[in-house]
Amino acid sequence: MKPYLAAAVQMTSLPDLHHNLAQATDLIELAVRRGAELISLPENFAFLGDETAKIAQADVIGSESEKFLKTMAQRFQITILGGGYPVPAGEGKVYNTALLVGPDGQELARYHKVHLFDVELPDGNIYHESGIVLAGTEIPSVFVSSEFGNLGISVCYDVRFPEFYRALSKAGANVLFVPAAFTAFTGKDHWQVLLQARAIENTAYVIAPAQTGYHNSRRQSHGHALIVDPWGVVLADASIEPGVAVAAIEPSRLKQVRGQMPCLNHRVF
């Protein structure tokens, strides 16, 4: 693992695939100009809108998303994570899929989101992700990279389940991705503290790209794409406008924190 710059991209995705991919291209290019070698896109980066429309277009969204990630990786010679896009799963449902791609355009890791967001919020919004999404059944394998460390992948609502990240850390993960489309209502109270908790308890870097702003008349995302260090310090925050959070991932810092606070070695259960 070498020192490098990572970027968490922040978008306002709409129910318009080509608009979203154009926006993502601009933000990836911005991150590359700032020196980022490992770049991550948020959940629903390719499409965020009516679920019926998503299902109707799932074949196109899925294939175009995968093609886009591979093209971006090769064009800019980066490693990139696309944080959540629909992949048809049969019977009118999709997997919410995250894909990690290397600079040669080859797939490095794939994950189907296992925890689905089925909640009724006090602001009146109701989310029923399982209505169209088929849950994955496996914690993803950690991708081991001599350049970027041991990469663990999750998606959005997963962040509320600490056992998921403990399993990743037990498998060796020291850099955790949490691409998200966190709601504005829950995000203001829970987003940052959950990310810091996952970083602290696993003494790992957390890279969390995010959606922000209004996607339609009712759905609003919290923003604040973050990169958090293993001590829980927020290194970069994209605030509430589309943009990028860029920060250094330092193996020496990881070693320092794990040496000073060796929690992972003190586990009893």
Q: Which of 37, 54, 66, 113 is catalytic?
A: 113
Over residues 178-226, the pLDDT tens digits come to: 999 999 999 999 999 999 999 999 999 999 999 999 998 778 999 999 9
Helix (H) or strand (E) holding 92: none
Identify the CATH class of 4-265: alpha beta
Question: Any residues with CB less than 8 A from the CB of 178 and at least 6 apart, and which?
Answer: 154, 155, 156, 158, 159, 195, 198, 206, 207, 208
One of 2, 37, 43, 263 is an active-site residue; which one?
A: 43
**Per-residue pLDDT at 191:** 98
Whole-angstrom distance, CA of residue 27 vs CA of residue 260: 36
The answer to whether residue 263 is catalytic is no
Task: List, in sequence order, the alpha helices (H) in 34-161.
Answer: 51-56, 58-76
SS3 50: coil
- Predicted pLDDT at 145: 96
The DSSP H or E segment spanning 18 is: helix 17-33
- pLDDT score recorded for residue 242: 98
**203-229 residues labelled b (16+ CB within 10 A) or e (exposed):** bbbbbbbbbbbebeeebbbbbbbbbbb
Catalytic residue (one of 37, 54, 64, 156): 156
Backbone phi, then psi, for 139, in 5-degree steps? -70, 135
Spatial distance between the Cα atoms of 239 and 10, rounded to a whole number of angstroms: 9
Specify whether 70 is catalytic.
no
Q: Are strands 234-237 and 205-208 parallel, antiparallel or unpaired?
A: unpaired
- Return the residue matching tokens 């498998």: 171
Question: How high is the pLDDT of residue 126?
Answer: 87
User: Which residues of the chain, if any, have pLDDT below 50?
Assistant: none
The first and second tokens of residue 248, run together, are 């250094």
Q: Are 107 and 100 within 8 A, CB to CB?
A: yes
Going from N- to C-terminal start, the domains of the chain cover 4-265
